[in-house]
Amino acid sequence: MASILRTSAPRAIRTTLLSSRRTPALPILQTRLQSHDTRNPPRGNPPIANRPPPDAPREEAGALRNNSKSGSYLGTTKRLPEFNLNDKVVLVTGAARGLGLVQAEALLEAGATVYALDRMPEPSADFYRVQKRAAEELGTTLHYRQIDVRDVPGLNEVVKSISDSQGKLDGLIAAAGIQQETPALEYTAKDANLMFEVNVTGVFMTAQAVAKEMIRWKRGGSIAMIASMSGAVANKGLICPAYNASKAAVMQLARNFASEWGHYGIRVNTISPGYIKTAMVEALFEQYPERKRDWPTQNMLGKLSVPQQYRGAAVFLISDASSFMTAADLRIDGGHSAW
């Protein structure tokens, strides 16, 4: 279950990453899309095409001689260089906060230039911490673009403008989504359509826009879409029929995209998280204390996950470390759905 889970009373929809409000017409939208970077231009370094992984630090030689310090400088020419993303441009939707932002920071640490896309007019306070760290510590850049993935013309415009400005597009993590907890007998068509419009069509159109740019530049690329363990199981005690169906659809979309785009060198996979302990889930536990007690017992590790435990999955799927992996689902649920 992705970290966007929020619920209170039945039928109460929670759009944590995407607004239900329609976006303005394109001329206004194009101006607004650039407002964040115009007012607060991110500092950092642009990517350089075909830049190789960095050499291992000089300290490594001394560390290896006497074993006094760790010598495992990952992502350098000597240590797993296939994990290095120093010349990659990657988009992450739903990255103004939460799981999407955590994954964006991991990509930045691996060297990527990252564009965060989200419906929020301004990203969270933590976003600025990550943006500052990217510029001052990591030697790369974190950008922000405001967009609702249901606005397909605006979405296409944003993706193309990023691609044009960078001269390439290498990766996508589609993490935007919404959640609603309502019994199937009480669901309205309006609520169901909104769920599928955001979680399925929004993911579809985002992947399509990115794939078109990857094909245009003839460089291939990697797309990772956030599904959920709930795409494979019906969660005991959590009534989310439309959400679960939407995540199953994301997994099937990935298989079909992979089969269509593989000959372009584009890989498409999904990440299926289990229950994630976030501030929103903690608030949920106040309303349903039995879930705080029961959920950890429903997996083989006896605990809930945290967003940071999905960092490695993001880097792995976007990087060349997974270069022979496509049409696959990386399920990270503590064994919940294997029981």
pLDDT in tens, 129-179: 999 999 999 989 999 999 999 999 999 999 999 999 999 999 999 999 999
- Check: CB of residue 242 under 8 Å from CB of residue 248: no
Q: Is residue 161 a part of any domain in this protein?
A: yes
Give the catalytic positions in this structure: 243, 247
pLDDT in tens, 281-308: 888 899 999 999 999 999 999 999 999 9
Output the CA–CA distances (angstroms, integers) from residue 211 to 153, 161, 216, 254, in the order listed.
15, 14, 8, 12
289-298 — which CB contacts under 8 Å span 24+ positions? 290/237, 291/237, 291/238, 294/237, 298/236, 298/336, 298/339
A 10 A CB-CB count for 135 gives: 17
Q: What is the mean pLDDT of residues 217-237?
A: 96
Q: Is residue 218 a part of any domain in this protein?
A: yes
Q: Is residue 70 a part of any domain in this protein?
A: no
Q: What's the first-to-final CA gap in the chain, in angstroms?
A: 16
Instruction: State which residues form the domain around 200.
Output: 26-43+75-338
Q: Is residue 20 a part of any domain in this protein?
A: no
Give percent of the chain with pLDDT exceeding 90.
72
Q: Is residue 95 a part of any domain in this protein?
A: yes
Q: Based on the structure, what is the number of domains in the chain?
A: 1
Q: Is residue 148 a part of any domain in this protein?
A: yes
Q: Is residue 280 a part of any domain in this protein?
A: yes
pTM value? 0.85
Q: Is residue 267 a part of any domain in this protein?
A: yes
Q: Are strands 329-332 and 266-273 parallel, antiparallel or unpaired?
A: parallel
CATH number at residue 157: 3.40.50.720
